[in-house]
Structure 1
């Protein structure tokens, strides 16, 4: 594993650590809201091995190690305490970070996440993982089919759909196989009851990859968690950017408190 993940540090104010999804990156998953978040917070966004500028790992990824590394990066960036915004796989990273470093984490925002894969998600991961050995455009077609909300998908013209698939195919990080394998190994269900910080769970209700039942399970398992459901596929940063940003900002200012450093 690399010594330190490549990362961005943006803005000023209370700390906010970003945990991106599998086959994603900070820019890919949070790029549409990064400027706004950095307007009120010191945002630290690490890229997992094989995403962004972080070298690919030569060994399997481990949830404890990834969570510890993200916390270490936040501390090195000068954040003593911070909220974590996790997306997809990043929700498991966020939960594990809060479990292992409870003195550091002030709040959690868990978007399009899960405690552990069910059979449907496991099948999707199996297909995704096998496709990664072949044509990247086929990977992009599968991801578009599985993850995009129907309303958003069907509103695209044929040329827009082709452009979206081409864009996604060009974006697939080289570390995707290890990241997808990490998703398959995740199980945070036993630690949810111990989460003692304010938590917002954001369910993506049109998500065919990680359906909202997973978010409802997270919210039910974490004491006092607030559940918000947004009509979006998995790619909420594109499909429902303004609504997502709105609930994040409202939660950070009300529940975590702007005075936290």
Structure 2
């Protein structure tokens, strides 16, 4: 299963250029803010929105793809850029903004700062208001993804995947799961292995990932929209405590706990149930969604 890069466009806004992919379907729009090492042309975890007939707008965050680091460099800054991009495209209402992994803080800021635009918030394995990542990961990432080493790092990873895919995948999964990488890899379906290899063959970090590691402010208390928090306790990249923190501080948050073995919850056996929960959440009238009972239960 290969992941094909999709066409993108660059909008020239007052804050600077921003790369985006717009796939128009129905009137309702979902904004997807992907995680680290991703850009607008790489569509991952979007099938649920396409199947629901929703328009998808996916911008490249600062430092990724053709969005320079100077365009809305900070989390609130790029939240405002994303709102401006919506206006530029004639989008006056967003059914949901989706924040995946390192894209979570920007999704939270967009919901908090632009309540008239955003109706719902979906956070998938998203970094929350807790410190992230840990010091060891921050130092290692700073070395591996600096302007001088980023290209070499990805070149070495792709060479390893060509020579020994299982070794390369175990190396990746070592930082993505709390379980032993060999076990996680053994439980992956063949099509998921192929998708991971294809994804890793196209990822780049640019200046974006180092920018993601900068401390961000906490806007969770200002989010009033219904929020779906999706996470797994076996996530080695963004600990489950982030989901707990998000649920504790966002007033109308509901947690859906995945049983996936790693940060890649789309590879979990319960992913069909997760996507069904997303469909139900999107189909409900935002004004009718009250504080879910799971919000007040221990996680």
Give the alignment's TM-score, normalised by structure 2: 0.71
Cα deviations across residues 170-213 of structure 1 (Å, max 9, x unaligned)? 222242xx322233224343x21221111111112221010211
Cα deviations across residues 70-91 of structure 1 (Å, max 9, x unaligned)? 2222222222111211111221
Counterpart of 1:221 in structure 2 is 249
Could you say if the C-alpha distance between residues 186 and 81 of structure 1 is closer, same or farther in structure 2, counting changes exceeding 3 Å? farther
Counterpart of 1:195 in structure 2 is 223
Q: Identify the structure with bigger relative contact order (alpha carbons < 8 Å, sequence gap 6+).
A: 1
Could you say if the C-alpha distance between residues 181 and 212 of structure 1 is closer, same or farther in structure 2, counting changes exceeding 3 Å? same
Q: Does 1:243 align with 2:255?
A: no
Counterpart of 2:6 in structure 1 is none
- Secondary structure of residue in 1 paired with 2:86: helix
Task: For 1:85 and 1:55, locate their aligned partners in 2 and report how far apart those are by CA, in whole Å.
Answer: 19
Could you say if the C-alpha distance between residues 92 and 245 of structure 1 is closer, same or farther in structure 2, counting changes exceeding 3 Å? same
Counterpart of 2:238 in structure 1 is 210
Task: For 2:205 and 2:209, locate their aligned partners in 1 and report how far apart those are by CA, in whole Å.
Answer: 11
Counterpart of 1:71 in structure 2 is 83
Larger helix percent: 1
Task: For 2:90 and 2:71, locate their aligned partners in 1 and report how far apart those are by CA, in whole Å.
Answer: 29
Superposed counterparts of 1:36-115, under 5 Å:
36-37=49-50, 39-52=52-65, 54-57=66-69, 61-82=73-94, 83-115=96-128
5+ residue gaps, structure 1: none
Q: Does 1:185 align with 2:214?
A: yes
Counterpart of 2:25 in structure 1 is 11
Task: For 1:96 and 1:74, locate their aligned partners in 2 and report how far apart those are by CA, in whole Å.
Answer: 15
Task: For 2:71 and 2:86, locate their aligned partners in 1 and report how far apart those are by CA, in whole Å.
Answer: 24
Give the alignment's TM-score, normalised by structure 1: 0.81
Counterpart of 1:145 in structure 2 is 174
CA RMSD of aligned residues (A): 3.2
Counterpart of 1:155 in structure 2 is 187
5+ residue gaps, structure 2: 1-14, 159-167, 289-299
Contact 1:122 1:184 in 2 (8 A): no
Could you say if the C-alpha distance between residues 92 and 32 of structure 1 is closer, same or farther in structure 2, counting changes exceeding 3 Å? closer
